Amino acid sequence: MAVEYITSRNLVDLIYETVRLMNKSMAHHGMRVSYIMSKMLETEGTYEKYEIADFMVLALLHDIGAIKTDDVRKPLTYEAKNPMQHSVYGYLFLRYLSPLEEQSKMILYHHMDYSKTKDMDYKYSFEMEVLKVAEIIDIWQRSFGAKFDYRLLEKYSGTKFDPRVCELLAKTIQKHDLIAQLRDNSYRQEYGKNVEFVLLSDTEKEKYLKMLMYCTGLKEEQTVSETVATIYVCRELCRKLKMSELDKNEVYYSAMLHDIGMLAMPTELLNAPRAFSDEEKNLIKTHVEIMEKTLENKLSKEIIRIAAGHHERFDGTGYPRGLKAGVMGKKEAILQISEQVVNAMEAKPYREAHTKEDIVEELNNGIITGKYDGIVTDTFLKHYDEIMDKAKQKAEIALVTHQKLLRNYNQVYANLA
Ligand SMILES: [Fe+2]
Ligand SMILES: [Fe+2]
Ligand SMILES: [Fe+2]
């Protein structure tokens, strides 16, 4: 499967589901802000439906930086008291790792007063002001409950908010029963209809899928570097095994998204500097089924199947299903070996990195006991240095942007603070 088989709608749903794995209330907030923004732009009257839909995707992701910079369980802290950190990180994340490079500045300033942004020369200034209002409407309507009155906003017209946008909001609320729809969740249906208009090119789809992989780094850096390394070890191994283009592609996307279920794990656990208890190990094991559920009906069954097999072993000792050789093939074996080797090479808080000798011994034993697929493992061992050197080089190049993001964060934050 190549990206052209994923529909734009499925990809937007996958983005939503991924944010939901990280934090449910952030995902709901994103969806509501996305909806409010779409209704406001619709009321404004000069936007095409597909243009509105693009901003809806951005709105869905507007707080994503908070996963990295703040305790996401405390939205009032990052949304009201100290909003700069998540704004900066979210901006850089989208600028470097998504197709929303041009629109990403909207995220940088989404908590900044209109009095400070009004003279800015930026292509999306107006939409940025709309995002600010859409976001505050959702925060206020939830905090004030039944007492909420959108006219509260007028007090800040010209200072915190753009007067044109305050007017637009009043018009939108008069036309559509926005607040009531948000309260009884009926907005969801229309949100669904509006995102149908998202139209992504293949390049954008590819970038979004990669972005979802980079989301794992919002919780724990090592998952990203290991996933990227796994992708390239898989790729080199596929080449040596002369896999077809289709097979290579399927292995590629399954390698990219195989650990996305880790996003549902508590950050404290992922970063705990110790070995895990049995209970914690069992919790972590659920990341496979979570990934399957998240990707279900959005990516091809084959990709999900390969990804779901990354902790299975050919002798039936793996998880979650304890599958055996007869029901698994080369593609699963490629991902299993690659993931296993990359994981072994990394130092963990509870053990040192394995040496090449350790790894070779483990794989050789695995061939004898039937734990690993013989042909794939043999091919890997025969070309060990070549595969690992090439994969290392390519992974380093691929991770440059991600590292640039981490470096720039401190700089941009210092400049704005
Ligand atoms: Fe927000
Ligand atoms: Fe925010
Ligand atoms: Fe995993």
The rounded Å distance from CA 55 to ligand 1 centre is 14
Average pLDDT over residues 339-352: 91
Average pLDDT over residues 266-288: 90
Domain boundary residue, one of 201, 231, 252 = 201
Question: Residues 219, 1, 27, 408: is their CA dihedral positive or negative?
Answer: positive
C-beta separation of 61 from 15 below 8 A:
yes
**Per-residue pLDDT band at 46 (split at 50, 70, 90):** very high
Indicate if 256 and 143 belong to the same structural domain: no
Q: What pLDDT score does 272 carry?
A: 82
C-beta separation of 134 from 40 below 8 A:
yes
What is the distance of C-alpha 50 from the center of its chain? 22
Domain boundary residue, one of 171, 201, 231 = 201
The rounded Å distance from CA 161 to ligand 3 centre is 45
**Per-residue pLDDT band at 296 (split at 50, 70, 90):** very high
Indicate if 327 and 362 belong to the same structural domain: yes
Amino acid at 226: E
C-alpha distances out from residue 173 to 47, 97, 256, Å: 18, 35, 42
Average pLDDT over residues 56-67: 96
Inside any domain, residue 257: yes
Residue list, CB under 5 A from ion ligand 1 = 63, 135
* Ligand closest in space to the Cα of 263: 3
The rounded Å distance from CA 243 to ligand 2 centre is 45
Domain boundary residue, one of 173, 201, 229 = 201
Indicate if 138 and 241 belong to the same structural domain: no
Count CB neighbours of 186 within 10 A. 12
Percent of the chain at pLDDT > 90 equals: 80
Inside any domain, residue 319: yes
Percent of the chain at pLDDT > 70 equals: 100
Average pLDDT over residues 41-62: 96
Indicate if 248 and 188 belong to the same structural domain: no
The rounded Å distance from CA 410 to ligand 3 centre is 31
Total domain count, the chain: 2
Q: What pLDDT score does 2 carry?
A: 66
The rounded Å distance from CA 257 to ligand 3 centre is 10
The rounded Å distance from CA 86 to ligand 1 centre is 10
Structure tokens at 344: 């072994």
What is the distance of C-alpha 21 from the center of its chain? 9
Residue list, CB under 5 A from ion ligand 3 = 259
Say whether pLDDT at 145 is over 80: yes
Nearest to 135 by CA among 74, 62, 38, 85: 62
Count CB neighbours of 348 within 10 A. 13
* Ligand closest in space to the Cα of 32: 1
Mean pLDDT, the chain, rounded, equals: 93
Inside any domain, residue 94: yes
The rounded Å distance from CA 306 to ligand 3 centre is 12
Indicate if 322 and 390 belong to the same structural domain: yes
Q: What pLDDT score does 5 carry?
A: 80
C-alpha distances out from residue 182 to 77, 140, 146, 167, 185, Å: 23, 12, 12, 20, 5
Indicate if 72 and 124 belong to the same structural domain: yes
Average pLDDT over residues 54-76: 91
C-beta separation of 85 from 70 below 8 A:
yes
47: left (phi over 0), alpha (psi -120 to 50) or beta: beta
Q: Which residues pair with 324 in a beta bridge?
A: 315
The rounded Å distance from CA 97 to ligand 1 centre is 20
Indicate if 150 and 268 belong to the same structural domain: no
To the nearest 10°, report the CA torsion of 164, 170, 174, 180. Answer: 130
Inside any domain, residue 14: yes
Inside any domain, residue 70: yes
DSSP character at residue 93: H
- The domain of 133 spans 7-201
The rounded Å distance from CA 355 to ligand 3 centre is 21
Inside any domain, residue 91: yes
Structure tokens at 280: 């914690």
Indicate if 229 and 85 belong to the same structural domain: no
pLDDT tens per residue, range 303-318: 999 999 999 999 999 9
The rounded Å distance from CA 71 to ligand 3 centre is 24
Q: What pLDDT score does 26 carry?
A: 95
Average pLDDT over residues 80-100: 93
Residue written as token pair 């110790």? 274
Inside any domain, residue 394: yes
Inside any domain, residue 207: no
The rounded Å distance from CA 22 to ligand 1 centre is 15
Residue written as token pair 């499925």? 10
Q: What pLDDT score does 359 carry?
A: 97
Distance, in Å, from the CA atom of 111 to the CA atom of 35, rounded to the nearest integer, reads 18
* Ligand closest in space to the Cα of 60: 1
Largest distance between two CA atoms of the chain: 75
Average pLDDT over residues 8-30: 96
The rounded Å distance from CA 223 to ligand 3 centre is 9
Q: What is the pTM of this model?
A: 0.94
pLDDT tens per residue, range 324-343: 999 999 999 999 999 999 99
Say whether pLDDT at 417 is over 80: no
Indicate if 247 and 197 belong to the same structural domain: no
The rounded Å distance from CA 186 to ligand 2 centre is 24
Q: Output the domain CATH number for residue 122.
A: 1.10.3210.10
C-beta separation of 86 from 69 below 8 A:
yes
Structure tokens at 16: 């939503």
Q: What pLDDT score does 413 carry?
A: 82
The rounded Å distance from CA 129 to ligand 1 centre is 13
The rounded Å distance from CA 216 to ligand 2 centre is 20
**Per-residue pLDDT band at 146 (split at 50, 70, 90):** confident
Residue 70 phi/psi, 5-degree rounding, is -130, 170
Indicate if 190 and 241 belong to the same structural domain: no
Distance, in Å, from the CA atom of 325 to the CA atom of 340, rounded to the nearest integer, reads 17
The rounded Å distance from CA 269 to ligand 3 centre is 15
Indicate if 346 and 249 belong to the same structural domain: yes
pLDDT tens per residue, range 198-213: 999 999 999 999 999 9
Indicate if 161 and 266 belong to the same structural domain: no
DSSP character at residue 355: P
Structure tokens at 216: 């794992």
**Per-residue pLDDT band at 109 (split at 50, 70, 90):** very high
